[in-house]
């Protein structure tokens, strides 16, 4: 479906090669104004903001993106690089759109536009450790098939035929063939680059410190070194949406959740899928731990571990990387060695090889969790011409491309895709 649309757009932009062809772009796409005045200004150069910028600029809109660090300097550059989902299903909902739709956009960027994003539709193997988890996954697979989604239970032997390092002592694996992986930094920068080629102005090193509504409609956005003016403002600032909302007198219920990861030295190719564990999803299906201020599906609550969570893969540079913890600690981005060791033990239960590989480096980043756990994508009707694309929580790398496209299409056409109803910001954004 997305591909049909893309055939037309491919005539406008053709990836890296389009740099040379930029002069052939229609005037309003190629034109790059020096002025800091624009039609749409996007705050945040993560995957959500960069995709929004690309899809708006591609439709001929005048776009400025401001980012206080570099493109992909926060969660979008620090994540595991896993792409989720189980296909479109018979009756695609928001989750189908932002997962399967994003996979289509990853394909377009890598295969059609020529960006090297290390994208691969590798599939995911999720390890099943107990009888209870096995029964839960049997139900899940039946539910997926009823809805027209993909998913299959494999015996350890079947799993080891496609992932030789998988632990043969486990009860089984869930195989999700529609899932994939890509390099976070390369991918996010590809979107920003494509946006620039389509005429957007990408401004890094611009920390937004003030936003003022203009009497003439639109906003003045002040950074430490410049002032920009726009008709339409988009908040794509990840875990920092609430501080930016405060500049507009709004409360945006997005909290920073620390995710942390570790990597081995580079080794020859040994792990071929993205890897997960059923332990957390089974546990959260019984009690997701949410309350008024705590988002669902965290590994910790009140500084206590509730459950282990696991995701990982082998990068193209040979590093095997794993992570999983999700903890609410404010804007703290320092990795916790104890949590890393727990995660490493969990990883070794699934891929025993990693027990013998020393940890080379660790890192952490902040995921933008909405307090109700659902994405926040659309118009904030408490203010004029104000939009947001965030709340993509622990899965925003794999969901950000389509989330950005859905928002771009909404802004450009004025028509909100029906699936965005459940992401409506008005359900939760309030006057501060
Ligand atoms: C360790 C870890 C592992 C993860 N693993 C996965 C995974 O495997 N798969 C997956 O799909 N997702 C994963 N995620 C989640 C995913 O990374 C996020 O959901 C996603 O990157 C959010 O993208 P974003 O563009 O909304 O936010 P960000 O990438 O955080 O971008 C927001 C940008 O806004 C900028 N900004 C903030 N305030 C200002 C300001 N005042 N002025 C200017 N700029 C500002 C920031 O500098 C930042 O660059 C993981 C996250 C972490 C931390």
Q: Share the mean pLDDT of the chain.
A: 93
CA distances from 345 to 274, 338, 341, 357, 364 (A): 17, 11, 6, 12, 18
CA–centroid distance, residue 235 to ligand 1 (Å): 13
Percentage of the chain lying above the pLDDT 90 cut: 91
Q: Which residues contact 317 (CB under 8 A, 6 or more apart)?
A: 266
Which among 57, 102, 126 has a CA at the least distance from the CA of 392?
A: 102
Quick check: CB of 238 below 6 Å from ligand 1? yes
Q: Whose CA is nearest to atom 37 of ligand 1?
A: 237
Q: Is the CB of 64 under 6 A from ligand 1?
A: no
Residue 70, classed as helix, strand or coil, is coil
Measure 11 CA to ligand 1 centroid, in angstroms.
Answer: 31
111 DSSP assignment: I
pLDDT of 189 higher than 90? yes
Query: What's the CA-to-centroid distance between 71 and ligand 1, angstroms?
Result: 10
**Measured between alpha carbons, how far is 343 from 337 in angstroms, rounded to an integer?**
10
Ligand 1 near 392 CB (within 6 A): yes
At residue 1, the pLDDT reads 34
DSSP 144-169: HHHTT---EEE-HHHHHHH-TTS-TT
* Euclidean distance between CA atoms 44 and 46, whole angstroms: 6
3-state secondary structure of 71: coil
Q: Is the pLDDT of residue 432 over 60?
A: yes
Ligand 1 atom, smallest distance to 274 CA: 8
Q: What is the pLDDT of residues 42-80, one digit of tens each?
A: 999 999 999 999 999 999 999 999 999 999 999 999 999
Q: How many helices (H) and strands (E) does the chain have?
A: 13, 22
Residues 390-407 pLDDT 10s: 999 999 999 999 999 999
Strand (E) or helix (H) holding 405: helix 396-413
Encode pLDDT of 276-297 as tens digits: 999 999 999 999 999 988 999 9
Give the Å distance between the CA of 169 and the centre of ligand 1. 36
Structure tokens at 179: 């899932």
pLDDT for residue 8 is more than 90: no
Cα–Cα distance, 98 to 84 (Å, whole number):
9
Q: Span 169-177, mean pLDDT?
A: 98
> For 222-271, how does the pLDDT look when each residue is reduced to its tens digit (9 = 90+)?
999 999 999 999 999 999 999 999 999 999 999 999 999 999 999 999 99
* pLDDT score at 23: 32
Closest by CA position to 195, among listed 410, 11, 408: 408
φ, ψ of residue 258 in degrees (nearest 5): -75, 130
Q: Are strands 227-235 and 386-390 parallel, antiparallel or unpaired?
A: parallel
Q: Is 66 in the pocket of ligand 1 (CB under 6 A)?
A: yes
Mutation test of ligand 1: which of 179, 226, 394 has the most ligand atoms closer than 8 Å to its C-beta? 394
**Half-sphere exposure (CA, 13 Å, Cβ side) for 285?**
12
Mean local confidence (pLDDT), 103-127: 98
DSSP lists the bridge partners of residue 174 as: 126, 153
Distance 57 CA to ligand 1 centre (A): 21
The 3-state DSSP class for residue 239 equals helix
pLDDT band for position 25 (cuts 50, 70, 90)? very low
CA of 55 relative to ligand 1 center, distance in Å:
19
Pick from 82, 38, 46: which is nearest to 63 by CA?
38
Q: Quick check: CB of 276 below 6 Å from ligand 1? A: no
Instruction: Take residue 96 and report the two structure tokens written for it.
Output: 């189908």
* pLDDT attached to residue 11: 35
- Ligand 1 near 398 CB (within 6 A): yes
Tokens at residue 403, please?
Answer: 């989330």
**Residue 106: Cβ within 10 Å count:** 24
What does the pLDDT read at residue 34?
56
pLDDT of residue 293: 86
Helix (H, G, I), strand (E, B) or coil at 9: helix
- How far is Cα 399 from Cα 82, in angstroms, rounded to an integer? 10
335 lines ligand 1 (CB under 6 A): no
pLDDT digits (tens, 9 = 90+) for 359-371: 999 999 999 999 9
- Domain architecture of the chain: domains with CATH: 2-114+184-253+373-431 (3.50.50.60), 124-177+255-370 (3.30.9.10)
Does residue 10 or residue 51 have the better pLDDT? 51
Angle at 403 between CA 11 and CA 295, to 5 degrees: 165
Residues in the chain, total: 432
In this structure, what DSSP letter does residue 106 have? H
Ligand 1 centroid distance, CA of 50 (Å): 11
Q: How far is the CA of 390 from the centre of ligand 1 (A)?
A: 9
Token reading at 379: 């118009």
**From the CB of 130, is ligand 1 less than 6 Å away?**
no
Please name the residue whose Cα sits nearest to atom 15 of ligand 1: 394
Cβ(370) – ligand 1 distance below 6 Å = no
120 half-sphere exposure, CB direction, 13 A CA radius:
13
- Any atom of ligand 1 within 6 Å of the Cβ of 44: yes
Token readout for 67 is: 């980012």
C-alpha 73 – ligand 1 centre gap (Å)? 8
Structure confidence by residue, pLDDT tens digits, 193-208: 999 999 999 999 999 9
Q: pTM here?
A: 0.93
């Amino acid at each position: 479906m997305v591909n049909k649309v893309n055939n037309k757009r491919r005539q406008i932009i053709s990836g890296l090669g389009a740099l040379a062809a930029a002069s052939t772009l229609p005037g309003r796409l190629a034109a790059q104004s020096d002025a800091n005045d624009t039609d749409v200004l996007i705050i945040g150069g993560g995957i959500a903001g960069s995709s929004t910028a690309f899809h708006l600029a591609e439709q001929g809109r005048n776009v400025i993106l401001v980012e206080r660090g570099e493109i992909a300097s926060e969660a979008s550059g620090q994540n595991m690089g896993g792409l989720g989902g189980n296909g479109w299903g018979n009756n695609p909902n928001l989750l189908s759109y932002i997962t399967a739709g994003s996979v289509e956009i990853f394909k377009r960027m890598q295969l059609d536009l020529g960006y090297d994003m290390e994208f691969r539709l590798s599939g995911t193997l999720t390890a099943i450790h107990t009888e209870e988890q096995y029964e839960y996954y049997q139900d899940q697979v039946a539910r997926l098939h009823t809805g027209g989604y993909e998913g299959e239970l494999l015996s350890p032997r079947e799993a080891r035929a496609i992932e030789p390092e998988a632990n043969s002592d486990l009860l089984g694996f869930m195989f999700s063939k529609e899932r994939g992986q890509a390099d976070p930094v390369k991918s996010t920068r590809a979107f920003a680059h494509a946006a620039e080629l389509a005429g957007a102005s990408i401004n890094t090193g611009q920390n937004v410190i003030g936003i003022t509504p203009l009497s003439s409609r639109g906003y003045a956005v002040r950074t430490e070194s410049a002032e920009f003016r726009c008709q339409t403002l988009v908040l794509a600032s990840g875990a920092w949406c609430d501080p930016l909302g405060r500049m507009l007198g709004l409360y945006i219920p997005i909290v920073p959740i620390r995710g942390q990861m570790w990597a081995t030295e580079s080794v020859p190719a040994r792990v071929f899928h993205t890897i997960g564990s059923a332990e957390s999803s089974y546990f959260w299906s019984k009690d997701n731990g949410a309350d008024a201020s705590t988002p669902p599906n965290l590994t910790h609550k009140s500084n206590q571990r509730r459950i282990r969570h696991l995701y990982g893969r082998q990068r193209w540079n040979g590093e095997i990387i794993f992570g999983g913890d999700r903890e609410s600690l404010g804007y703290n981005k320092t990795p916790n060695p104890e949590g890393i060791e727990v995660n490493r033990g969990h990883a070794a239960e699934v891929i025993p090889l990693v027990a013998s590989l020393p940890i080379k480096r660790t890192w952490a980043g902040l995921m933008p969790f909405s307090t109700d756990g659902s994405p926040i994508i659309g118009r904030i009707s408490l203010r004029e011409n104000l939009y947001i694309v965030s709340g993509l929580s622990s899965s925003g790398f794999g969901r950000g491309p389509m989330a950005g496209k859905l928002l771009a299409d909404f802004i450009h056409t004025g028509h909100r895709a029906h699936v965005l109803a459940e992401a409506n910001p008005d359900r939760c954004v309030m006057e501060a």
